[in-house]
Structure 1
Amino acid sequence: MELRHLRYFAVLAEELHFTHAAERLHIEQPPLSRAIKELEEELGVLLFDRNRRGTVLTAAGATFLQDVRRLFATLEQARENAKAVGSGLRGSLRIAVSDGAIDPRLSAVLARCRAEEPEIEVRLSEVPLAEQIRGLRSGDFTAGFAHTADVGEGIVAEPIWRDPLVLAVPALHELLAHKEVPLHELGSHPIILCDPHVCEGYCRELARLLRPLEDEPNVVEHVSSLDMMLTLVSAGFGVGFTTEARIATCQRPNVVIRPLAMDSAMITTYLLRPDSDSLPAPLERFIVRLRTHFGG
């Protein structure tokens, strides 16, 4: 099985059009057709269904595409690792962050990693939770951070730090009569929440905390960032939720922060990593730093 055939297959699977795929690959269409036929004969399955309506992946083709993409991701990582070693580096940490789990404490750990092991390349990516989980399973990411432990099999979720959930309230709002806002007082007040597609794990945890409410929360807007939520709160569109740690780095005029009157109003940040008895040495040292300085 040649890598050339796999590359042709992956491009055709994206284009689902032989002429367009050939143009992307800078080859003629007949060599592309021959390569796909040879690949199908070697595998003993049809990868594409060709009919008058066009070209579509078969079920076998769709499954094969997932594995081919993982293969190319591994090859790309191997290439990057070789380049890193060639330039004097001795390994890498590829860390994914989801659910808005960016935190000053994470910055401190990363800074210490760079100071103590400058030969280790550290790369940070902000991705949706589902993409982080896929990347941890495929090897695209070494570790990750998220606000949920509900990540399925094959991944370990270790709690690293916990932060009180707080309410962002417009100035002069009636809820400011409470030094600690009882959950039931939210009532029908307009609420601005994070987009569940952007912060999936965080939204799951928030939904769990809001479950005791008798009525469904009056959600008037979903936003993709803390900045947008605070902008809308400052303008009086509603109230929003965040954590003490995050609001400390993003103060806004006309926004007042109030704690919630419930002991369980906490958001946990989890370190996610592959469930393996043998972890890369840079990851093991990274985990030790987290546990030493911020664990528990």
Structure 2
Amino acid sequence: MDLRRWHYFAVLAEEMHFTRAAERLYISQPSLSQQIRALEADLGVALLDRSGPRFTLTDAGTVAAVEARELLESLRRSRRRVVAAARGESGRLRIAYTRSAPGPRASGLVAEYRRRHPGVAIELETGWTVLNIARLEAGEIDLCFVRPPVESPAVQVHVIEVEEVLVALPEAHPLAAFDRLDRAQIAREPVVFWPRANGSGQYDAISSQVWPGGVPPVVREEPEDEQLMNAVAEGAGLAAVPEHRARTLRTPGVVLRRLTDPVPRIELGLACRADPVGPLVGAFLALL
């Protein structure tokens, strides 16, 4: 069915005069009359009662006038939505945090994106680096926060923050008396760590900077930082934790100490697929 004819009929129903309607539509009166008859033929009903000196709308024509206005408004609305989506102003953006870094840098970026693009629905979840990268590669999410380095040719990582790594100790530990710790002091201390499989890049980056030889004497593994810090409080060992995460958790029974130079640091990255990005992801990267 020709949508143009619905537009012609909507204007005619507003004007109730062929000449004025034709002028508004920038077509000739005979052409308008022909198009209205074609619409009636499409529908199989008469829309105009032409028996009098001036035409009137039939019952079907009255309903058709309402439907025409609603149809045209729906088309205009659809056009606005399509254009907004192309500009990155609407749609759905799926983002995953990493458990070790839901802090102000990551959440601040998301909050600012919401402010600038209120028409975009943002779906947030939390995982860890390896899981987030796998889901990004599979197309299940659009963006994710990760701990570099990340080895995946299908993914681009943009470093957004660098933070210090602190040592978490039980508050009764003898080393808690020191403001800063030398690496030799902690070299043989039992260590609580999360599984390397959760994020081998971050695991190796921390290990190589904190422990001589790059191999921590791990005695216990915990799935994430909160359980890791609880294990430290229990006296299971010490742990190396990103500063913001460690200070946010504020685990009772745990003290935080810095290491002597060179200060260990790890990165926080924002990852997206290496394919050409769509407008929603592009707008987030532009904000970054």
Same-fold call, TM cutoff 0.5: yes
Query: How many angstroms apart in 2 are the aligned matches of 1:215 and 1:268?
Result: 18
Q: Which residue number corresponds to residue 253 of structure 1?
A: 252
Q: Which residue number corresponds to residue 207 of structure 1?
A: 207
Cα distance 1:202–1:215, how it changes in 2: closer, same or farther (>3 A)?
A: closer
Q: Which residue number corresponds to residue 157 of structure 1?
A: 157
- CA shift for structure 1 position 181: 1.1
Long gaps (5+) in structure 1: 1-81, 291-296
8 Å CA contact retained: 1:99, 1:202: no
- Correspondence 1:204-283 to 2 at 5 A: 204-210=204-210, 213-214=212-213, 216-276=215-275, 278-283=276-281
- Is the partner of 1:288 in helix, strand or coil? helix
- Is the partner of 2:212 in helix, strand or coil? coil
In structure 1, what residue type is equivalent to 2:108? A
Query: How many angstroms apart in 2 are the aligned matches of 1:214 and 1:131?
Result: 28
Q: Which residue number corresponds to residue 56 of structure 1?
A: none
Query: How many angstroms apart in 2 are the aligned matches of 1:214 and 1:132?
Result: 29
- Correspondence 1:70-85 to 2 at 5 A: none
Q: Does 1:288 align with 2:282?
A: no
8 Å CA contact retained: 1:142, 1:283: yes
- CA shift for structure 1 position 127: 3.0
- CA shift for structure 1 position 284: 1.9
Cα distance 1:102–1:202, how it changes in 2: closer, same or farther (>3 A)?
A: farther
- Alignment identity in percent? 21
Cα distance 1:122–1:201, how it changes in 2: closer, same or farther (>3 A)?
A: farther
In structure 2, what residue type is equivalent to 1:287? L
Query: How many angstroms apart in 2 are the aligned matches of 1:121 and 1:136?
Result: 18
- Is the partner of 1:249 in helix, strand or coil? helix
Query: How many angstroms apart in 2 are the aligned matches of 1:105 and 1:111?
Result: 10
Long gaps (5+) in structure 2: 1-81
- Is the partner of 1:111 in helix, strand or coil? helix
- CA shift for structure 1 position 155: 1.4
8 Å CA contact retained: 1:146, 1:201: no
Q: Which residue number corresponds to residue 106 of structure 2?
A: 106
- Is the partner of 1:259 in helix, strand or coil? strand
Query: How many angstroms apart in 2 are the aligned matches of 1:281 and 1:157?
Result: 18
Query: How many angstroms apart in 2 are the aligned matches of 1:175 and 1:114?
Result: 45
- CA shift for structure 1 position 257: 0.6
Q: Which residue number corresponds to residue 117 of structure 1?
A: 117
TM-score (norm 2): 0.63
Q: RMSD of the alignment, in Å?
A: 2.5
8 Å CA contact retained: 2:158, 2:269: yes
- CA shift for structure 1 position 162: 0.4
- Is the partner of 1:257 in helix, strand or coil? strand
8 Å CA contact retained: 2:193, 2:218: yes
Q: Does 1:185 align with 2:185?
A: yes
- CA shift for structure 1 position 141: 1.8
- CA shift for structure 1 position 156: 1.1
Q: Which stretch shifts more, 265-274 or 176-185?
A: 176-185
CA deviation digits over 1:46-68, x for unaligned, max 9? xxxxxxxxxxxxxxxxxxxxxxx
- Is the partner of 2:196 in helix, strand or coil? coil
TM-score (norm 1): 0.62
- Is the partner of 2:125 in helix, strand or coil? strand
CA deviation digits over 1:69-127, x for unaligned, max 9? xxxxxxxxxxxxx9xx8xxx821211123463322221222222222222111112323
8 Å CA contact retained: 1:187, 1:215: no
- CA shift for structure 1 position 180: 1.5
Q: Which residue number corresponds to residue 142 of structure 1?
A: 142
Matched length: 203
